[in-house]
Amino acid sequence: MMKYLTALTLLLLIDINLYCQNTSQWNPDNFSFSELTFHSTACNGTCPQVSLHLRKDKLIEVSRKIYKSKGVVDSSLSGNFIGVLDNKNYNSVLILLSTINWDTLSFSNSWCCDAPIKTILISYNGKYKKFKSMTPPEITYELFDDLIKLASKIKLTKYNKPLDFEDYN
């Protein structure tokens, strides 16, 4: 009986150790960002429709459709824009990106209602991941809100040619 309890205790300790190792593998300090593409679709209201591409060198491309009211586009704020992201906004995005464990993140396959569909394609640490959902996980809320605000309000040079954003296909 004692051998059984000892073996059981040993297995339990090994299991706990493996669990702790697996949950602590993500280290925000080791996050190395390369680029991201983000999309948020419009809704049946005034949700902005935005696409944003950000690279490590801070080059940013934005395509946005901003609504004054339901179905009424604000043409002065809408269109395609390019530029270089300032350090404050870039660092803010990096901090939010680094807090998410992209290796284990999963999005639900939910397409339920009138809400924007969020898509993010991200290259980091030599990896590439794609996520898309109408109901992304809570850990992404702050990042996605920040990206939508950034894409909607940032002052960039208007670009009169089409921008080609990668999508989740």
% the chain with pLDDT above 70: 85
Position 167 confidence tier, pLDDT thresholds 50, 70, 90: confident
Question: What does the pLDDT look like over 134-147, one tens digit per residue?
Answer: 999 999 999 999 99
The domains located in the chain, with CATH, are 30-158 (3.30.1560)
Position 11 confidence tier, pLDDT thresholds 50, 70, 90: very low
User: Whole-prediction pTM value?
Assistant: 0.82
Q: Report the sign of the C-alpha dihedral through residues 86, 90, 93, 95, in that order.
A: negative
Question: What does the pLDDT look like over 27-82, one tens digit per residue?
Answer: 878 999 999 999 999 998 899 999 999 999 999 999 999 999 999 999 999 999 99
Position 2 confidence tier, pLDDT thresholds 50, 70, 90: low
CA distance 141 to 46: 19
Residue written as token pair 């983000």: 38
